[in-house]
Structure 1
């Protein structure tokens, strides 16, 4: 009985968090980043560890 109650509370809590998140900001698939950006042509931005330093020191 204890596991059933705990599992029910956990699932209800996760469902409540998902509902609160979805109601605060409705999902917009047109503004979402691509799931996999392999070969998408999107340039990296921000701190990119694989970027080589600029030899001109700019």
Structure 2
């Protein structure tokens, strides 16, 4: 069985699902997009919601 420290140390770098840039956060995080892409998605959702009204 692999020690937990070795497991996390050997994980590959995470890449953003939207733009492909490397994400600089802990590997065990559930985030799949970098901060700029998350912000853009939130802004787009906000615009879409308020244009429908």
Band of TM-score, shorter chain: 0.3 to 0.5
Bigger RCO of structures 1 and 2 (CA < 8 A, at least 6 apart): 2
Larger radius of gyration: 1
Instruction: Name the TM-score, length of structure 1 as normaliser.
Output: 0.35
Instruction: Name the TM-score, length of structure 2 as normaliser.
Output: 0.38
